[in-house]
Amino acid sequence: MKHKDTEINFSDITPEIKDLSKTCLNNCYIEKDLYAIHNVNRGLRDVNGVGVLTGLTEISDVCGSEIVDGKKVSVEGYLRYRGIPIESLVDGFLEDNRFGFEEVTYLLLAGKQPNKKELEAFTSQIAKYRSLPPSFVRDIIMKAPSIDVMNTMARSVLTLYSYDENPDDISIQNVLRQCMHLISIFPMIAVYGYQSSIHYHQGESLYIHPPKPELSTAENILHMLRPDSKYTTLEARILDLALVLHAEHGGGNNSSFTMHVVSSSGTDTYSAVGAALASLKGPKHGGANVKVVNMFEEIKANVKDWEDDEEVSSYLNKILDKKAFDKQGLIYGVGHGIYSTSDPRALIFKYFVERLSEEKGLTDEFKLYERVERLAPDIIKGKFKTYKDICANIDFYSGFVYKMLGIPKELFTPLFAIARISGWSAHRLEELINAGKIIRPAYMNVQPKTEYIPLDKRK
């Protein structure tokens, strides 16, 4: 046993750290005007907020505007997976009454739509891969469980490197094997990580349901998550749709770009996926749907008449004025970096969200979401004097869906990762297949030259 004096408190911010942080703040700040002076696109976005072109991809196409007569004009947003409109893919799944996530995953990885035989073989392989190494759940996931499931997922992925007999082989065949295994087990790592966390930190009962090979990814998530493993057909279909709509969104989003950057160095699959998970964990990327749900809890608690446009608008104005909710001045789930007139994912999702709200007896809450979706764009445009079109994005409804499905907030971002691992895998394969130079953008140094000062003469 360690003596008390030798124990380290990793959360302790000492006076020395406080002083050093002040020094960092004083000496590391870069004047924002310098970005404009030197024509540097901060965040790889131009002055209009459009992403700077850094690569080519065939995986997906994301668009919300067109150039007409030399001017950028907003258009109905579209999303295409391997050139196919997302609406057509979803319609195909619905017409045939089948789950779509596995088929979309094949499409993204292989670059073509599978025929019936190929899809059956692929789905069967995914099912076979749904297993973790012996004692992995006990020794890795349950030991020192994190309060954030995304960290548990990242740690688990990095640890799987040690269980792989050929972890550093970046041949396409081997990387495809690794990616398919990760796609298969992400739901297990996320759900088991959550259950271990609430058992350890909140003292709740721990139960581990192994996945069933005959179930789809969406069905297995609900089966493993719920104590009784029961779910309705509509619940499973809507969760599958959520996975389909979140599976991919171009190479320019932060986590997919991270996958390209890290993969270009020639590193292993587990390190690259760990980096993408770290990116997605950031609240500016993967956590917006949690913010939307929390925001609506505040709205419901403070707006007496949910059907009164004036009262709802008044509270939305308070949010924008930084007088309500988290005081950040943002109506979460409204607005998008690419889409302006419409987010095709949100349009598709909304119809099924309404159906689920009817099944759950939450139509009044759905109508409140609809009302905010209708009112918020004009309020934002009026407040900030902008003429740019503004629309609800997929995060606006996804958190509400997960809430209706009884999925805890701790799993909202991990669910994003469960879907997006398909897109990440496709981007990793694309980067390796078209391997060129390591991705290395330039940074301009703006630190003035200075002279070395001997230690005994420094202040």
Residue 395 is a catalytic residue: yes
Residue 343 is a catalytic residue: no
Q: Is residue 215 part of a domain?
A: yes
CA-CA-CA-CA dihedral for 210, 424, 97, 289, to nearest 10: 80
Q: Which of 223, 246, 249, 336 is catalytic?
A: 336
The CATH number of residue 298's host domain is 1.10.230.10
Q: Which residues of the chain have pLDDT under 70?
A: 1-8, 200-201, 387
Residues 240 and 116 in one domain: yes
How many CA atoms does the CB half-sphere of 78 hold within 13 Å? 14
Residues 270 and 137 in one domain: yes
Q: Is residue 270 part of a domain?
A: yes
The CATH number of residue 160's host domain is 1.10.580.10
Q: Which of 240, 343, 389, 395 is catalytic?
A: 395
Predicted local distance difference test score (pLDDT) of residue 127: 97
Q: Is residue 457 part of a domain?
A: no
Burial of 26 (0-12, 13-18, 19+ CB in 10 A): exposed
Residues 205 and 314 in one domain: no
Helices (H) and strands (E) in the chain, counts: 18, 3
Predicted local distance difference test score (pLDDT) of residue 456: 95
CA-nearest of 137, 150, 80 to 409 is: 150
Q: Is residue 40 part of a domain?
A: no
Residues 246 and 278 in one domain: yes
370-395 pLDDT, tens digit per residue, is 999 999 999 999 998 776 789 999 99
**For residues 400 and 254, what is the distance between their CA atoms, to the nearest angstrom?**
24
Predicted local distance difference test score (pLDDT) of residue 4: 47
Q: Is residue 52 part of a domain?
A: no
DSSP class of residue 54 equals -
Residues 276 and 336 in one domain: no
Q: Which domain holds residue 354?
A: 288-404
Predicted local distance difference test score (pLDDT) of residue 337: 84
Residues 333 and 244 in one domain: no
Number of domains in the chain: 2
